[in-house]
């Protein structure tokens, strides 16, 4: 049957690559900067704003980056926030009770994150609990542990001072160190996901685990690596957060869950045709950060950033998926051997998009 | 121009262009009431575009479509349903966890009680009525996942005919590749139902790659080539080769080897020991297999045939350890292997190649390049585990040229490729690991005649080049074209083995060996089997 290969004329490759469909968030971001600059030229349009956005949102950025890997591999990690929380608490607890050495605190914090990642892997991949439910459950457990360790009080003893300064507050080239962490992890992830064999395997697993399995990929090991890496990056975020606040608190981590997911999903609509990717995640974080900071700068009420984040997520995803590449990649459940899948009928009245399989417009006649 | 009077469906001068390219030009098609009309054509001939226009997903650039006296409006798939135009697509669109009855209401609408809950009694009665019309008995209360392929197809047909407004309003049924998943007697059951439908006055447009099916079932057939109708012929007395030459145009009929894709360089392989089996397994057991011994030598092509349920469909995956399976012994190149899984296979140079419609064959969201290089990524890395993109693209371009893959853009989305091109891509993907053993499932399912021929020819050439091929297929013709040996499975065991040069290899001998001998089929459609002994597909 006809392949109808008309959707990619060669001349427009570049137009598409930087066009609004592929990089809508960047355009919205630029538009926001212009709008806020016009409304509030003195307060908003300054180097200070840039630094503020970067400094304030680098931890959200780290969480979003952490999520890119497991999402690309087709598993959710809803425990990122709790994992960040438990790492921060453990680092702070170590400073307060064991030794004032920042290095040891970081090691203990990362060990906690590693533990969380390993437990997530065991639950999701070893025991076969669906990742959405499994990590929701572990999230609750990690949060409880964090509360137990901290005794429901923020731990600030020895966290202020040397630890805080060395890990988070020091300026490098005008921005604080966490921005640097974000950039480094962005580059590492971009390298791994887009250039390495592991990255290609990871995307294949996320799109179709059966293809990966029959292609000789050890699907579950790769998913375990992605879950553990996610936890470790979340651990970095949690330790950094403790350093920024000067205290380990069981309440700070979970707040990053939602913006982190929002940025990862929004980012998936950018640059790479529906693939979860680190560049998109960071741009999405910067977009959200710019909007939040801008709104507060122009004197909007304090609840407005939350509304902004929600609206942005819906608008950007809707705009990108409406015309271009179809819906976001479906996150699939664990791979099963050769299921015989009957395609469900499409929703009624759906227009046949190019993104549909050219050979079969399923269920067209039964509506 | 065929007159619209007296015709149920009259397609008049339909043209369709995409971005300035003509997918259809001035196509006419007329189907009188109560007749079964075949539509055949290559991938890219415009067949699916025509179906999409009928279904209301595309709006034609020119021409009209009439159903009876109504001119079909643009768009509006739902409006077509009301006019009596019904579709059963290749993907049946059933929810596998739902029962037959639940699926019946899905899409066409459920009957409601006055409390707006579903009126199951009325729904059931309506499904009964439709089953009576079709003259078949289908299980209504079992999840469709537990039904046989033919029962699923029939439920989809029942739904298309009866859903929503009831059977009286269905006037034309479009069946798109309904037999792809069916084998032998199952096909005959489906045909019986389709004939019943036509007998009750409903027109049927039957689209298929299976030419003998079309000859068997249809009274007339329209042949599309390059977006034009090249021939409308009556099937009475028509032969398969006649249709093939109409499909392919002049210079068509030739032996598979003659049309093999360019694989000369594939032949430059180290010469293997042809006395030791490249791959041998004894006592292979899985859900459907209960003890199968197989061996494949270098330079040999072994084809496995069997009806649905014989274990044939699972054999390739069980042999490669891709589904839960056990074996007494597995030997690769004469060396015993404790167990196999897909990852071991890759390391040992065994390629497991699923057909393009089967799960696990390709990532639809990947580009041609990404799919084609997927199995051989590790061989194409620079330092630090970096994928060598340049090499990847170069290799992809080589295969595009060698196999004439269309479109020739390495970055093209795999999802939008045609079946034949997908299959070429999948084959190339696995040839990239330079396998010494290839285990292939359904190499030509969903592939048009021309591409299928080329693919089969290529497989033969690969075998001649020294690789060991184990091909599991539901197409008897494919096996006859390329096999050195044909192994026939029945109830999870080997029932017969036919050797080229020793036994007579014809469609007849193979079918005889495959046919059910012990008991009548229990497939839910009574009195379907053996009703027509001289039909090519009616076994027994």
CATH number at residue B76: 3.40.50.300
Is residue B456 included in any domain, yes or no? Answer: yes
A259 inside domain: yes
Q: What is d(CA A336, CA A209) in angstroms, rounded to the nearest whole number?
A: 8
Q: Which of A6, A195, A365 sits opposite B387 (nearest CB)?
A: A195
Residue A356 belongs to some domain of the structure: no
Whether residue B87 sits in one domain with residue B35: yes
B216 and B310, same domain (yes or no): no
Asked if residue A328 has pLDDT above 60, the reply is no
**CATH number of domain containing A307:** 1.10.3470
Q: How far is CA B458 from CA B244, B350, B426, in A?
A: 19, 18, 13
What residues in A contact B360, CB-CB < 8 Å?
208, 210-211, 213-214, 338
Chain segment A282-307, per-residue pLDDT in tens: 999 999 999 888 888 888 898 888 88
Digit-coded pLDDT (tens) for B411-446: 998 888 888 899 999 999 999 988 999 999 999 887
Could you tell me which residues come within 8 angstroms of residue B500 by beta carbon, excluding any fewer than 6 positions away?
B483, B484, B485
Residue B1 in domain: no
Q: Is the pLDDT of residue A358 over 60?
A: no
- Rounded to a whole number of angstroms, the distance from the CA of A64 to the nearest CA of chain B is 23
In a domain, B282, yes or no: yes
pLDDT band at B400 (very low <50, low <70, confident <90, very high): very high
* Same domain for B311 and B360: yes
Between A81 and B252, the higher pLDDT residue: A81
Nearest CA-CA distance, residue A320 and chain B, Å: 16
CB B16 within 8 A of CB B49: yes
Claim to verify: residue B244 and residue B260 sit in the same structural domain: no
B285 and B213 housed in the same domain: no
* Reported confidence tier of residue B251, pLDDT bands at 50, 70, 90: very low
Share of chain A above pLDDT 70, in %: 80
Residue B297 is encoded by which pair of tokens?
């030598």
**Per the CB < 8 Å rule, is B108 touching A345?**
no
**pLDDT value at position B165?**
56
Residue A349, pLDDT > 80, answer no
Owner of token pair 């997520």: A313
Residue A6 lies in a domain: no
- pLDDT tens track for B152-165: 999 999 988 886 55
Residue A182, CB half-sphere, CA atoms under 13 Å: how many? 26
Three-class SS of residue B299? coil
DSSP 8-state assignment for residue B256: G
| A334: in domain | no
C-alpha dihedral, A340 to B524 to B156 to B107, nearest 10°: -100
Q: Chain A residues with CB inside 8 Å of B56's CB?
A: 364
Alpha-carbon distance of B489 to B513, in angstroms, equals 9
What average pLDDT does the segment A6-16 reach? 50
Give how far A210 is from chain B: nearest CA, Å: 4
Flag whether B530 is in a domain: no
Please check whether residue A357 lies inside any domain of the structure.
no
**Residue in the structure block whose two tokens are 């080539």:** B225
Query: Strands A171-172, A175-176: parallel, antiparallel or unpaired by DSSP?
Result: antiparallel
Cβ(B61)–Cβ(B245) below 8 Å: no
**What residue numbers bound the domain in which A160 lies?**
18-325
Write the pLDDT tens digit of every residue in B164-211: 555 457 889 999 888 877 777 788 889 999 999 999 889 999 998 788
Q: Are the beta carbons of B13 and B62 closer than 8 angstroms?
A: yes
Total domains present in chain A: 1
Instruction: Show contacts of B127-133: CB within 8 Å, 24+ apart.
Output: B127/B100, B127/B101, B127/B158, B127/B162, B129/B162, B129/B166, B129/B167, B130/B104, B130/B158, B130/B161, B130/B162, B130/B167, B131/B158, B133/B161, B133/B162, B133/B167, B133/B196, B133/B197, B133/B200
Distance (Å) from the alpha carbon of B346 to chain A's nearest alpha carbon: 6
With CA atoms as reference, the chain B residue closest to A8 would be: B412
Is the domain of B376 the same as that of B494?
yes
Tell me, yes or no, whether B260 and B183 share the same domain: no
- Least trusted range by pLDDT, from B209-213, B289-293, B350-354: B209-213
Would A242 be classed as within a structural domain? yes
CB–CB contact A10 B409 (8 Å) = yes
Q: Which of B93, B360, B419 sits opposite A344 (nearest CB)?
A: B93
- What's the rounded Cα separation, in Å, for the pair B230 and B215? 17
Is residue B108 very low, low, confident or very high in pLDDT (cuts 50, 70, 90)? low
Please state, in angstroms and rounded to a whole number, the distance separating the CA atoms of residues A2 and B19. Answer: 14
Q: How far is CA B447 from CA B22, B327, B378, in A?
A: 22, 33, 30
Give the distance from residue B21's alpha carbon to the nearest chain A alpha carbon, in angstroms: 8
Is residue B262, in this structure, part of any structural domain at all?
Answer: yes
Q: Are residues B501 and B409 in the same domain?
A: yes
Which residues face B386 on adjacent strands? A196
d(CA B207, CA B218): 10
A357/B323 touch (CB, cutoff 8 Å), yes or no: no
Of B48, B345, B384, the CB nearest to A1: B48
CB contact under 8 A, A3 and B43: yes
Within a domain: B514: no
Task: Please check whether residues B208 and B272 belong to one and the same domain.
Answer: no
Pairing of strands B301-305, B468-472: parallel
Decide if A355 and B359 are in contact by the 8 Å CB cutoff: no
Which of chain B's residues have a Cβ under 8 Å away from the Cβ of A355? 415
Q: Assign B519 a pLDDT band (cuts: 50, 70, 90).
A: very low
Query: Within a domain: residue B16?
Result: yes
Residue of B nearest to A352 (CA): B57
From B248, B267, B294, give the residue that closes a domain.
B248
Residues B213 and B285 in one domain: no
Helix (H) or strand (E) holding A189: helix A177-195
Nearest to B44 among A2, A275, A357 (CB): A2
Name the packing angle between helices A177-195 and A278-297 (round to 10°): 150
B442–chain A nearest CA distance, Å: 14
Of B96, B342, B362, the CB nearest to A342: B96
What pLDDT band is residue B260 in, cutting at 50, 70 and 90? low
- Residue A30 placed within a domain: yes
Residue B337, domain extent: 256-505
Does one domain contain both B233 and B157? Answer: yes
Domain count, chain B: 2
Q: End of a domain among B248, B281, B302? A: B248
Report if pTM > 0.90: no
Residue in chain B lying closest to A201 (CA): B374
Residue A331 within any structural domain of the chain: no
A58-70 average pLDDT score: 96
Half-sphere exposure of B55 (CA within 13 A, CB side): 27
Q: Specify whether B482 is located in the same domain as B461.
A: yes
Taking 60 as the threshold, does the pLDDT of residue B62 lie above it? Answer: yes
Can you give the pLDDT at residue B27?
92
Task: Confirm whether B343 is domain-assigned.
Answer: yes
Distance separating alpha carbons of residues B301 and B448, to the nearest angstrom: 22
């Amino acid at each position: 049957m006809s392949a109808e290969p008309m959707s990619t004329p060669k001349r427009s490759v570049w137009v598409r690559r930087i066009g609004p469909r592929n990089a809508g968030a960047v355009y919205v971001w630029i538009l926001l900067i212009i709008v806020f600059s016009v409304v509030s030229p003195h307060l908003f349009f300054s180097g200070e704003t840039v630094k503020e956005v970067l400094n304030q949102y680098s931890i959200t950025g780290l969480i979003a980056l952490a999520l890119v890997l497991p999402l690309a591999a087709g598993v959710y990690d809803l425990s990122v926030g709790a994992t960040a929380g438990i790492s921060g608490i453990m680092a702070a607890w170590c400073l307060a009770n064991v030794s004032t050495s920042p290095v040891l605190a970081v090691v203990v914090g990362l060990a906690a994150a590693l533990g969380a990642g390993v437990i997530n892997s065991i639950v999701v991949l070893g025991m076969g609990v669906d990742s959405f439910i499994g990590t929701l459950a572990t999230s609750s457990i990690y949060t409880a542990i964090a509360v137990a360790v901290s005794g429901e009080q923020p731990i600030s003893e020895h966290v202020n001072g040397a630890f805080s300064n060395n890990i988070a507050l020091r300026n490098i080239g005008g921005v604080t160190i966490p921005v640097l962490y974000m950039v480094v992890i962005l580059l590492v992830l971009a390298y791994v996901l887009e250039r390495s064999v592991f990255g290609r395997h990871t995307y294949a697993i996320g799109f179709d685990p059966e293809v990966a399995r029959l292609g000789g990929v050890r699907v579950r090991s790769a998913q375990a690596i992605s879950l553990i890496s996610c936890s470790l990056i979340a651990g970095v975020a949690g330790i950094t957060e403790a350093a920024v606040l000067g205290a380990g608190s069981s309440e700070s981590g979970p707040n990053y869950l939602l913006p982190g997911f929002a940025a990862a999903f929004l980012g998936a609509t950018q640059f790479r045709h529906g693939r979860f990717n680190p560049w998109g995640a960071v741009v999405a974080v910067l977009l959200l950060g710019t909007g939040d900071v801008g709104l507060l700068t122009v004197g909007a009420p304090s609840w407005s950033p939350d509304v902004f984040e929600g609206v942005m997520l819906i608008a950007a995803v809707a705009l990108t998926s409406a015309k271009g590449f179809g819906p976001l990649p479906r996150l699939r459940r664990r791979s099963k051997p050769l299921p015989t899948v009957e395609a469900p009928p499409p929703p009624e009245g759906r227009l046949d998009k190019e993104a549909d399989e050219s050979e079969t417009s399923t269920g067209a006649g039964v509506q | 121009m065929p007159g619209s009077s007296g015709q149920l469906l009259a397609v008049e001068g339909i043209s369709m262009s995409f971005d300035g390219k003509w997918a259809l030009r001035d196509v006419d098609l007329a189907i009188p009431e109560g007749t079964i009309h075949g539509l055949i054509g290559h991938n890219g001939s415009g067949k699916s575009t025509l179906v999409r226009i009928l279904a209301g997903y595309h709006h034609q650039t020119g021409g009209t479509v009439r159903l009876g006296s109504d001119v079909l409006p643009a768009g509006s798939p739902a409006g077509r349903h009301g006019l009596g135009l019904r579709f059963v697509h290749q993907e049946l669109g059933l929810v596998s966890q739902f029962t037959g009855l639940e699926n019946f209401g899905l899409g066409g609408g459920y009957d409601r009680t006055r409390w707006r809950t579903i009126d199951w009694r009325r729904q059931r009665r309506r499904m009964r009525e439709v089953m009576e019309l079709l003259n078949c008995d289908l299980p209504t209360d079992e999840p469709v996942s537990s039904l046989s392929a033919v029962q699923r197809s029939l439920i989809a047909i029942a739904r298309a005919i009866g859903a929503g407004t009831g059977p009286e309003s269905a006037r034309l049924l479009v069946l798109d590749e309904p037999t792809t998943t069916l084998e032998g007697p199952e096909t005959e059951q489906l045909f019986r139902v389709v004939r019943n439908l036509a007998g009750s006055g409903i027109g049927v447009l039957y689209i298929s790659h299976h030419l003998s099916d079309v000859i068997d079932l249809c009274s007339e057939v329209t042949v599309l080539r390059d977006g034009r109708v090249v021939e409308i012929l009556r099937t009475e007395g028509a032969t398969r080769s006649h249709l093939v030459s109409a499909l392919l145009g002049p210079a068509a009929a030739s032996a598979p080897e003659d049309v093999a894709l360019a694989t000369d360089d594939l032949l430059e392989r180290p010469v293997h020991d042809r006395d030791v089996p490249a791959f041998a397994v004894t006592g292979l057991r899985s859900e459907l297999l209960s003890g199968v011994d197989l061996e494949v030598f270098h330079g040999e092509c072994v084809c496995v045939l069997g009806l649905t349920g014989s274990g044939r469909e699972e054999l390739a995956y069980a042999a490669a350890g891709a589904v839960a399976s056990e074996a007494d012994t597995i030997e690769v190149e004469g060396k015993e292997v404790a167990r196999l899984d897909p990852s071991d296979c890759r390391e040992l140079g065994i390629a497991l190649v699923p057909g393009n419609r089967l799960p696990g064959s390709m990532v639809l969201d990947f580009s041609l390049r990404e799919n084609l290089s997927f199995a051989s990524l590790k061989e194409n890395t620079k330092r630090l585990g970096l994928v060598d993109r340049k090499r990847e693209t170069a290799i992809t371009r080589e295969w595009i040229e060698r196999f004439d893959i269309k479109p020739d853009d390495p970055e093209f989305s795999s999802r939008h490729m045609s079946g034949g091109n997908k299959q070429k891509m999948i084959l190339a993907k696995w040839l990239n690991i330079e396998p010494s053993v290839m285990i292939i499932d359904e190499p030509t399912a969903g592939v048009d005649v021309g591409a299928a021929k080329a693919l089969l020819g290529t497989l033969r050439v690969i075998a001649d080049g020294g690789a060991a091929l184990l091909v599991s297929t539901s197409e008897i013709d494919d096996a006859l074209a390329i096999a050195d040996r044909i192994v026939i499975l029945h109830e999870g065991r080997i029932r017969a083995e036919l050797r080229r040069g020793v036994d007579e290899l014809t469609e007849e001998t193979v079918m005889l060996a495959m046919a059910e001998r012990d008991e009548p089929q229990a497939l839910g459609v009574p009195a379907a089997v053996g009703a027509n002994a001289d039909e090519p597909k009616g076994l027994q």
